[in-house]
């Protein structure tokens, strides 16, 4: 692309797991990318390979504060996404979702540019219908320990649609189901990273509940492809749209698969299920299939193999440095 055709794209939360992979794809497609992250859960390690890239810029900034930049598109991914991190400072988590949405929508309003919100399957809470469709309003506890994230994301969706109706902002809302892959935070408390790290160290694998609760695991490459397809839709399609892999596995099945693939001697241990932890998760992706021509391609075992290789390298580096 020549300079005048090149898109300038803002990615908030760009030093995180999904944000950094999204930036890689955007740069590969010729865009200029501004990454904004306060590094609460993001890590510069995820961006080391881009430090000298001529079309990449990093800005340390908290989206709870206004931002004044000039861009053509905004991907709003800023928010802690794992229970360990979003429950560490629940007030700040809610602020990040709500104030962050207000600030990014205000920027999109001023620039008259398209903006995508990374929402979550957690807006469905502990669902009473299965699989979950976008028209389902959810079953969410508004005062529980997960509410800072669940209700924060629900409020962010409200703001996106009100800005769309009131100010004619072109919005896109993606509801992300469990996504995994290289660059996940090794201590984020999510089952894929937890199980792999415990297995590689031959530690007991901790399962909360009896392991019968289900999740659907989407490899990051498929998710990023869904993001880009959604952003490239016309102004009449706003979403929300589910992005996730409809393949459903119990937590116990995942743990056993990780042990098998790592050759670990780990044993399974069972603890009490945390408050408001959903018992089942499975996206209905009919809308994504029809509107985005999208469906995930990477099978769980293939994605896990690449993720395990990433964490093996991480563990080796930790052992070498003694950290």
Residue 236 lies in a domain: yes
Q: What residues pair up with 268 in beta bridges, in sequence order?
A: 205
Closest CA to 94 of 42, 165, 32, 159: 159
* Pairing verdict, β 248-250 and 214-216: antiparallel
Question: How much is the pLDDT for 323?
Answer: 57
**What's the CA gap between 15 and 42, in Å, rounded?**
5
Six-digit token pair at 301?
A: 């075992």
Task: List, for residues 89-144, the tens digit of each pLDDT value.
Answer: 899 999 999 999 999 999 999 999 999 999 999 999 999 999 999 999 999 999 99
Please list, in sequence order, all residues whose beta carbon lies within 8 angstroms of the beta carbon of residue 81, skipping any fewer than 6 positions away.
Answer: 16, 41, 120, 149, 188
Does the residue 267 lie in any domain?
Answer: no
pLDDT at 60: 97
Let me know: does 116 contact 227? Beta carbons within 8 Å: yes
User: What does 199-220 look like in DSSP terms, one character per residue?
Assistant: HHTTPPEEEETTS--EEE-EEH
The verdict on residue 200 lying in a domain is: no
DSSP alpha helix (H) spans, the chain: 17-28, 83-86, 90-111, 147-167, 191-200, 220-231, 251-262, 286-292, 300-321
Strand partners, 120: 176
Residue 165 maps to which CATH number? 3.40.50.720
pLDDT of residue 228: 98
As beta bridge partners, residue 271 has: 208
- What is the average pLDDT across 189-205? 93
| Average pLDDT over the chain, rounded to an integer | 93
194 within a domain of the structure (yes/no): no
Q: Which residues are catalytic?
A: 149
Q: Is residue 208 part of a domain?
A: no
d(CA 231, CA 167): 19
Q: How far is CA 37 from CA 12, 26, 51, 103, in A?
A: 6, 17, 15, 14
Lowest mean pLDDT among 132-141, 148-157, 274-283: 274-283
pLDDT of res. 232: 97
Three-state DSSP class for residue 66 = coil
Query: CA 262, 265, 269, 273: dihedral to nearest 10 degrees?
Result: -10
As given in the structure block, the two tokens for residue 124 are 């469905």
Q: Tell me the mean pLDDT in the region 289-311.
A: 97
Average pLDDT of the segment spanning 279-288: 93
CA 155 to chain CA centroid, Å, is 17
Residue 71 is predicted with a pLDDT of 98
Tens digit of each residue's pLDDT (9 = 90 or more) over 236-278: 999 999 999 999 999 999 999 999 999 999 999 998 877 767 7
Pairing of the two strands 268-271 and 241-243: unpaired
Domain that holds residue 27: 3-183+218-246+283-298
**77: number of CA atoms within 13 Å, CB side?**
28
> Residue 147: inside a domain, yes or no?
yes
Identify which has the larger pLDDT, 59 or 191.
59
Q: Convert 72-89 to b/e letters by CB count within 10 Å (16 or more is b).
A: ebbbbbbbbbbbebbbee
Domains identified in the chain, total number: 1
Q: Please state, as a whole number, how many other Cβ atoms lie within 10 Å of the Cβ of residue 45.
A: 11
Q: Residue 300 and residue 180: Cα distance in Å, rounded?
A: 10
Q: Is there a domain that residue 239 lies in?
A: yes
| Residue 275, domain member (yes or no) | no
């Amino acid at each position: 692309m020549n300079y005048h055709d090149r898109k300038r794209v803002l990615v908030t939360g760009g030093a995180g797991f999904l944000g950094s992979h999204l930036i890689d794809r955007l740069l590969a497609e010729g865009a200029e990318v501004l990454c904004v992250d306060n590094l609460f859960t993001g890590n510069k390690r995820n961006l080391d390979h881009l430090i000298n890239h001529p079309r990449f810029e990093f800005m340390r900034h908290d989206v709870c504060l206004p931002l004044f930049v000039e861009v053509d598109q905004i991907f709003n991914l800023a928010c802690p996404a794992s229970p360990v991190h979003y429950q560490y400072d629940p007030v700040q988590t809610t602020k990040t979702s709500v104030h962050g949405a207000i600030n990014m929508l205000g920027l999109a309003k001023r620039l008259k540019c398209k903006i995508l919100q990374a929402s979550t399957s957690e807006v469905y809470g502990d669902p009473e219908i299965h699989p979950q469709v976008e028209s389902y309003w959810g079953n969410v506890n508004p005062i529980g320990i997960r509410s800072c994230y669940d209700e924060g994301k629900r409020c962010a969706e409200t703001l996106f649609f009100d800005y769309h109706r009131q100010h004619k902002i072109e919005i896109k809302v993606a509801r992300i189901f469990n996504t995994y892959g290289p660059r996940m935070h090794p201590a984020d408390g999510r089952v894929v990273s937890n199980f792999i790290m415990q297995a590689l160290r031959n530690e007991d694998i901790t399962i909360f509940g009896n392991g019968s609760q289900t999740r659907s695991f989407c490899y990051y490459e498929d998710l990023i492809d869904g993001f880009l397809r959604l952003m490239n839709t016309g102004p009449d399609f706003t979403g929300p749209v589910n992005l996730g892999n409809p393949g459903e596995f119990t937590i116990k099945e995942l743990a056993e698969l990780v042990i098998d693939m790592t050759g670990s001697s780990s044993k399974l241990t069972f603890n009490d299920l945390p408050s408001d932890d959903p018992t089942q998760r499975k996206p209905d992706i009919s809308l994504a299939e029809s509107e985005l021509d999208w469906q995930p391609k990477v099978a769980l075992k293939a994605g896990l193999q690449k993720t395990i290789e990433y964490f093996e390298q991480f563990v080796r580096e930790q052992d070498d440095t003694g950290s």
